[in-house]
Amino acid sequence: MIDGFNFAYLDEATKRMIRRTILKAICIPGYQCPFGGREMPLAYGWGTGGIQVTASIIGMNDTLKVIDQGADDTTNAISIKNFFKKVCKIKTTEVTENATIIQTRHRIPEKKLSEHQILVYQVPQPEPLRRLEPKEQETRKLHAYEEYALMHVKLYEEISHYGSVIKTYAYPVRTNRRYITDPSPTPKFDNPKMDFMEALQLFGAGRERRIYAIPPYTSVKSLDFEDHPFEIQTWDERCDICGSNNSYLDEIIVNDKGEKKFICSDTNYCEKNIKT
Amino acid sequence: MIIKDKILEVKNLTHYYGEQVGCEDISFDLYQGEILGIVGESGSGKSTLLKCLSGQISPSQGIINFCIDQNQPLQDLCKISEQKKRALMRKEWGIVQQNPRDGLRLRVSAGGNIAERIINEEIKNYSNIRHKALDWMDKTEMEKSRIDDFPLNFSGGMQQRLQISKILSSNPKLVYMDEPTGGLDVSVQAKLLDTITIIVRDLNVSMIIVSHDLAVVKFLTDKLLVMKSGMVVESGLTDRVLDDPQHSYTQLLTSSILQV
Ligand SMILES: Nc1ncnc2c1ncn2[C@@H]1O[C@H](COP(=O)(O)OP(=O)(O)O)[C@@H](O)[C@H]1O
Ligand SMILES: [Mg+2]
Ligand SMILES: [Zn+2]
């Protein structure tokens, strides 16, 4: 369509195949559906899974926002955005509420998402049980038969060795009371936002060729013990730029003396907060 | 007389590895709380029989009926789903491997190893799980202070105690042990067997234990199967079989130890 590219880069047959996988994923919340992932014009680990999902669902009237570590202006976010500008000629935005599709790595925007939006995650490792059980055939059985004791053994181990669960990102959740799902690699701070989110959440893992989904208004619970309940990160500091005390803060070192400042990781949220 | 529940019924069980006979035409019953010994020389089919019984291999022929629910008739193991079989393995059965490393997660602490089978039942409360794990370490005479240590730092005897703690923590109906003291020093073996005897009697759990050591078997078991070339050549109450062996092979076996 444009300079020898089909709209959104992928050919229509591939997009249909990916859409079928997405539909299946939505029907079985949290279940990792295999798909015939394509080679993309960038390396694995740079969001090829997310890009294929976005390319399959994007239309001419969509407005795209891309974030990396919560920021719209990082190299990776900008190059993905430029890619879609080039192959779709669509509008892009940094304003969370103006986007119809938000592709992300690491963060969920602070601003509450709506039914009119889709959040696409770039996922490096979709299998939450992988580090506990290396065999793919076995992890599939563990999911199929809901044999999830191992996951709690992991939490047991962390509490026993460190006094609390130390995992701060890719913190495992149970989706729709059924499949254990990896929200990777978002910080656990964002886990509560996934629970009954109004927006559709789609997860694409390029290297592992898996797509999974959390439909709107679906229960997403972080795993824990009743005497060691799940907790999100908190900070004593406020954002140095906007003064926010309830957003996810990044720690930055500001001079050679090692002096530290804290600023919002969600740059669009931070800008809005200064204005109001 | 107390009528005990039958928990296992084995009929004409046969397993071939290709042309090679693993075990052949084996039948017996096991009742709640009974301890059955299997003896026989190396290669006589003891491990094959145990693997068939515990669902690790599917037998070529024969029937294994197991009591899944006390209020229902025994069920044919070959006919239940893989899911159900795996659930049995996690809860109702315990398989104590000869090499404890095969039955333990080496990168998970002692407590975590025991916790896994407890978590299958009750996953809500960390403190409860930990207390139960400590209790089991106590029962198997392990030092409770080592709950957070990793199995690789344990002696062979301690690893085996840990494996037994792990298996028993789910209150299984039936425990399988294949030469549980096989790789250990003689003095360690004796102590471990003491522990096993006390716990197993205390819990009234049923057990099938393979051993080539007749002293162990005499000490621990109620009933005995004597195997040779894949077949059971003699069976009965342990004391009867050892004191008054009928088959020439059993006579040969017993003559070698009972004189000592
Ligand atoms: N995986 C196998 N493949 C082929 N033959 C086997 C296998 N395992 C055992 N066997 C054979 O089956 C027979 C019984 O072996 P096994 O059950 O291991 O005896 P035991 O435990 O009494 O030493 C032996 O002849 C053995 O060589
Ligand atoms: Mg053997
Ligand atoms: Zn800010």
- What is the count of structural domains for chain B? 1
The one-character DSSP state at A223 is: -
pLDDT mean across residues, chain A: 93
Expressed in angstroms, the distance from the first to the final Cα of chain A is 43
Please indicate, yes or no, if residue B140 is contained in any of the structural domains: yes
Residue A269 CA: which ligand is closest?
Answer: 3
Residue nearest to atom 20 of ligand 1 (CA): B43
Interchain pair B87, A145: CB under 8 A: yes
Mean pLDDT of the A164-172 span: 92
Task: Spell out the residues 6+ positions from residue A78 whose beta carbon is closer than 8 angstroms to its own.
Answer: A66, A72
| Predicted confidence (pLDDT) per residue in B204-213, tens digit | 899 999 987 7
Predicted pLDDT of residue A23: 98
B125 neighbourhood in chain A, CB within 8 Å:
225-227
Which residue among A155, A157, A227 places its CB closest to the CB of B109? Answer: A157
Please indicate, yes or no, if residue B237 is contained in any of the structural domains: yes
Mean pLDDT of the B175-185 span: 89
- The model scores a pTM over 0.95: no
Mean pLDDT of the B63-79 span: 88
A230 neighbourhood in chain B, CB within 8 Å:
none
Please indicate, yes or no, if residue B1 is contained in any of the structural domains: no
Predicted pLDDT of residue B259: 47
| Predicted confidence (pLDDT) per residue in B185-204, tens digit | 888 888 898 888 888 888 88
Work out the pLDDT band at B3, boundaries 50, 70, 90.
low
Interchain pair B123, A149: CB under 8 A: yes
What gap in Å lies between CA A96 and CA B142, rounded to an integer?
A: 58
| Predicted confidence (pLDDT) per residue in B139-154, tens digit | 999 999 999 999 999 9
Work out the pLDDT band at A3, boundaries 50, 70, 90.
low
Please indicate, yes or no, if residue B260 is contained in any of the structural domains: no
Read off the CATH number of the domain in which B166 is found.
Answer: 3.40.50.300
What percent of the residues of chain B are helix, what percent strand, and what percent coil, each to the nearest 5? 40, 25, 35
The CATH homologous superfamily to which domain A12-222 belongs is: Bacterial phosphonate metabolism protein PhnH (3.40.50.11310)
Chain CA centroid to CA A245, Å: 23
| Predicted confidence (pLDDT) per residue in A46-60, tens digit | 788 999 999 999 999
Tokens encoding A12? 């229509």
pLDDT mean across residues, chain B: 91
- Mutate which of B23, B47, B98 for ligand 1 pocket (most atoms within 8 A of beta carbon): B47
Which residue among B87, B112, B127 places its CB closest to the CB of A153? Answer: B112
Min distance B169 CA to chain A CA atoms (Å): 14
Mean pLDDT of the A215-221 span: 98
Cβ–Cβ contact A140 with B under 8 A: no
Cβ–Cβ contact A227 with B under 8 A: yes
Q: What is the dihedral of CA B195, B197, B202, B203, to 10 degrees?
A: 100
Q: Assign B255 to helix, strand or coil.
A: helix
Work out the pLDDT band at B260, boundaries 50, 70, 90.
very low
Mean pLDDT of the B27-47 span: 94
Supply the range of the domain harboring residue B142.
6-255
Q: Is the pLDDT of residue B256 over 80?
A: no
Q: Which residues of B touch A (CB under 8 A)?
A: 82-83, 86-87, 90, 105, 108-109, 111-112, 115-117, 119-120, 123-127, 129-130, 147-148
Predicted pLDDT of residue A1: 47
Mean pLDDT of the A231-240 span: 95
Predicted pLDDT of residue B2: 55
Biggest CA–CA distance in chain A, Å, is 60
Domain locations in chain A as residue ranges: 12-222, 234-276
List the single range of A78-87, A267-276, B188-197 with lowest mean pLDDT: B188-197
Q: What is the dihedral of CA A224, A226, A230, A234, to 10 degrees?
A: -150
B108 neighbourhood in chain A, CB within 8 Å:
153, 157
Do strands A179-181 and A173-175 pair parallel, antiparallel, or not at all (unpaired)? Answer: antiparallel
Which residue's structure tokens are 């720690």? A251
Q: Which residue has the higher pLDDT, A116 or B204?
A: A116
Predicted pLDDT of residue B219: 83
Q: Assign B218 to helix, strand or coil.
A: helix
